[in-house]
Amino acid sequence: MAPMAEKRDYYEVLGVGRTADTKGIAAAYRKLALKYHPDSNPGDENAIERFKEAAEAYEVLSDAEKRSRYDQFGHAGVDGGAPHFGDVEDIFEAFSDIFGGGLFGDLFGGRRGRRRSRRGADLRCNVTLDLEEVAHGVRRTVQFERHSRCETCQGTGVRPGSSATTCRRCGGHGQITQSAGILRVQTTCPSCRGAGKVISDPCLNCHGSAFVSSIAKLTVAIPAGIEDGMRVRLAGEGDPSPEGGPPGDCYCIVSVRRHPLFQREGTSLILRIPISYSQAALGAMIHVPTLGGRDVLEIPRGTQSGEVFHMRGRGLPDPRGGSPGDLLVQTYVETPKKVSPRQEELLRELAELEKTDVTPHRKTFLEVLRNYFAPGTSSGSSEEGTQK
């Protein structure tokens, strides 16, 4: 069967509603996994594709963070985070907790005849960006703590000169089988924790864990337009597997600093900029800042306070490959707190033309004092008495 041209909705794949809880999603996946399991459909390529499709849907919807991004952005929201299983062995490895024991282990565990190794643990690191870096994309060096193989014991966990012994409880299989009526249930051996071997003389450097802590330094490419809280996956850069399986991944969590001028809404940027009364009334060409440098915006005659002008494509790139956003310039008319005598004279003339009432001109305190003590004027004048 050729690969499907377009991915189906993950909820549709599992046959559940968008309000389904985690238990409902897991139950739906188990049902489909049983139906399309390769052991139940030998040679059926269509069943294998459905098996992979169900596994991918379950991997996303069973993870709260991935499910939230999927609900908001669809498949684009989890690109790079959703798995693309090359073969069914990848699925059994990823979901060993489901297929490696319990009912699935009893029905299908004999197919492989061996215990599959677990992946290493996923790790995380953090990086903080300025909005200018978000606009263009950037490469950053990050460092984080992870485990590496102990060189003293060469990753065996055993003191040099000693060796591990086979676990007596599980016979080296790493799992034990318990019978309950007609069912057989496989679980991880509690004595060796699935390793199949027991270390009685551990390495002094790693204390038997086979790994030691180290600091990893990596250069990560942050795509342009990335949003606060998004993460960049560094495949295979997590902790190594304690059982010789593939390493985990490292996820670089991005934080974006607040900008002193611009407010972000998705790919759009919002800028509030003051204009004078004369610019609003008569129109003007004003300079406005953008993340790419200074630009010119035409303010038409009669612009009202709070009007918004769109500068197309001057926002942020779309990290999912869509069109770049706009710069939204919101103008507001700024009233000066101080005016020169000439400005006041002109404004009063304008008020008279508009037949608008304004506060009358007030004399300063010094002017009042000069008039008060002028010749022919006394503190007991009739004018003063009238004011009283």
Beta bridge partners of 213: 147
Q: Which domain holds residue 292?
A: 263-333
Domain match, 59 and 95 both? yes
Residue 204's alpha-carbon distances to 22, 149, 159, 241, 267, in angstroms, are 43, 14, 7, 21, 54
Could you tell me which residues are beta bridge partners of residue 185?
Answer: 178
In a domain, 124, yes or no: no
Are residue 278 and residue 355 in the same domain, yes or no?
no
Q: Does one domain contain both 32 and 103?
A: yes
Instruction: Say what the pLDDT of residue 1 is.
Output: 40
pLDDT the model gives residue 376: 63
41 occurs within a structural domain = yes
- Residue 199's pLDDT is 87
Q: What is the pLDDT of residue 65?
A: 84
The answer to whether residue 153 is domain-embedded is no
d(CA 149, CA 157): 9
Q: Give the total residue count for the chain.
A: 388
DSSP H or E stretch at residue 199: none
Residues 316, 353, single domain; the answer is: no
- Say yes or no: 326 and 348 in one domain: no
Whichever domain contains 311, its CATH number is 2.60.260.20
| Residue 311 belongs to some domain of the structure | yes
Per-residue pLDDT at 130: 94
Model-level pTM?
Answer: 0.56
In terms of domains, do 1 and 60 share one? yes
57-66: list long-range contacts, CB under 8 Å, 24+ apart.
57/10, 57/11, 57/13, 57/14, 57/29, 58/14, 58/25, 58/26, 58/29, 58/95, 59/83, 59/94, 59/95, 60/10, 61/10, 61/11, 61/14, 61/20, 61/25, 62/22, 62/25, 62/26, 62/29
Domain end point (choices 66, 81, 116): 116
Q: What is the pLDDT of residue 388?
A: 36
pLDDT at position 227: 92
Residues 329 and 346 in one domain: no
Same domain membership, residue 91 and residue 23: yes
What's the rounded Cα separation, in Å, for the pair 310 and 294? 15
pLDDT score, position 385: 42
The reply to whether 329 and 374 lie within a common domain is no
Residues 41 and 75 in one domain: yes
Could you tell me if 351 and 326 lie in one domain?
no
> Dihedrals φ, ψ of 253, to 5°?
-90, 125
User: Over its length of 388 residues, how does the chain's per-residue pLDDT go in tens digits?
Assistant: 444 457 889 999 999 999 999 889 988 988 888 888 876 777 788 888 888 888 888 888 988 888 988 888 888 777 654 455 555 455 555 454 454 444 344 444 444 444 456 788 899 999 999 999 999 999 999 999 999 989 999 888 899 988 888 998 888 888 887 765 545 667 788 888 777 888 889 999 998 888 999 999 999 999 999 999 999 999 999 998 877 788 999 999 999 999 999 999 999 999 999 999 889 999 999 999 999 889 999 999 999 999 999 999 999 999 888 889 999 999 999 888 888 888 888 888 887 887 765 566 555 666 666 676 666 655 444 444 444 3
Q: Give the CATH number for residue 85.
A: 1.10.287.110
Q: For residue 242, what pLDDT is reported?
A: 77
Based on the fold, state whether residues 314 and 365 are members of the same structural domain.
no
292 occurs within a structural domain: yes
- Of the three residues 67, 94, 116, the one that is the final residue of a domain is 116
**Is residue 232 in some structural domain?**
no
Asked if residue 327 is part of any domain, the answer here is yes
The answer to whether position 143 is within a domain reads no
Beta strands at 268-275 and 308-311: parallel, antiparallel or unpaired: unpaired
Question: In this structure, what DSSP letter does residue 88 have?
Answer: H
Q: Which of 70, 89, 116 is the last residue of a domain?
A: 116
Domain count, the chain: 3
pLDDT at 112: 44
In the beta sheet, which residues pair with residue 221? 139
